[in-house]
A and B are shown apart, each in its own frame.
Chain A
Amino acid sequence: MTIFINGEARELDGVSTLAGLLDALELPKRRVAIELNKHVIRKQDWESTNVADNDKVEVVHFVGGG
């Protein structure tokens, strides 16, 4: 299935949950936040939230800023 993550289309098979998505992409889980189709998903729900074809996921962290 295709997931749009941070604006990039990625073909991901065998991934079913948000937590699985982070694992598949080897993304950090600490001090990041996730939006699934414009809704924030709380960290405790990453394991139980399913992803589907064409979902739009944003994974953000913090950078220097003013």
Chain B
Amino acid sequence: MSDKFVLAGKEFTSRLIIGTGKYRSHEEMKAAHIASGAEMVTVAVNRVPLDRKSESFLDHLNPAMQILPNTAGCYDADHAIRTARLAREALETEWIKLEVIGDPITLLPDNEQTLEAAKVLVAEGFIVLPYFTDDLIMAKKLLDAGCPAVMPLAAPIGSGMGVQNPSNLRIMREQLPDATIIVDAGVGVPSDAAIAMELGADAILMNTAIAEAGDASAMATAMNLAVQAGRLGYLSGRMPRRLYASASSPIAGAIK
């Protein structure tokens, strides 16, 4: 079955997008990236330490992978916009994962500031992929603003809690059948990724679940398989849920 993932006109085979943070070593990260099958990775924009003499972090990434810079650490639209502009200048890419955080304990998004920043960045020609609360109305507003996809959270960033509101994702899928929905943040284990995909997500973005796993490469393989399994499960059309049993073997003809 041909099932390409197309995002802003670019075709991907993998529906898994992964991060580059929290790995114990560059070697471990590189191995996990290969195992994941991912074709797009996120990076963060940060002040250069004034004593920096080392090479660029980007040298540790497979050059074939699409780099998606993020605006992590920004608490208002203005900072996110400035960060996006800096990322575009340094990387010569229009792609940006827009993240405007509302508070440092939960890292939950500030949806209002996110929308404001999205409008400005879309007008400036950015391909804006916004991280936001899993809310249908907010998703509609972000799509109306010109975002080519929306990225609802499954649970707080780095929490590994899995899909906390499956109904919200299901409603979003049903009400926005043509939208590209990427579940971003909160996945902890492969079953979480599979559940999000079974609910109809088009792709999943994760970082900590792989980077903090005991064996990051093995977990990356597992996540790759889980995303594929969940996708196939969604496309296959699940059986109806029933409160009571429905026998798989014929009742008639059993010996008496």
Q: Does A32 contact B (CB under 8 A)?
A: yes
Interface flags, B61-92, vs A, CB<8A=1, else 0: 00000000110100000000011011101110
Q: Are B72 and A65 interface neighbours, CB within 8 A? A: yes
Selecting from B3-11, B46-54, B111-119, B223-231, the interface stretch reads: B46-54
Q: Does A33 contact B (CB under 8 A)?
A: yes
**B residues near A27, Cβ cutoff 8 Å:** 48, 50, 52
- B residues 193-241 in Cβ contact with A at 8 Å: 205-208
Q: Are B21 and A65 interface neighbours, CB within 8 A? A: yes
Q: Are B86 and A66 interface neighbours, CB within 8 A? A: no
Given contacts A6-B48, A31-B58, A59-B47, contact A65 B90 (CB under 8 A): no
Report Cα–Cα, A27/B49, bound state, in Å: 9
**A residues near B244, Cβ cutoff 8 Å:** none
**B residues near A64, Cβ cutoff 8 Å:** 19-23, 29, 43-44, 57
Residues of chain A at interface, number, CB under 8 A? 28
B46 partner, pick from A38, A40, A43, A60, beta carbons under 8 A: A60
The interface of chain B, by Cβ under 8 A from chain A, is 19-23, 29, 42-48, 50, 52-53, 56-58, 69-70, 72, 82-83, 85-87, 89-91, 157-158, 185, 205-208
- List 30 contacting pairs A-B, 8 Å CB cutoff, sorted by A: A6-B50, A25-B50, A26-B53, A28-B52, A35-B85, A38-B82, A42-B89, A43-B89, A60-B45, A60-B86, A61-B46, A61-B90, A62-B45, A62-B90, A63-B57, A64-B20, A64-B22, A64-B29, A64-B43, A64-B57, A65-B19, A65-B21, A66-B21, A66-B22, A66-B44, A66-B70, A66-B72, A66-B158, A66-B206, A66-B208
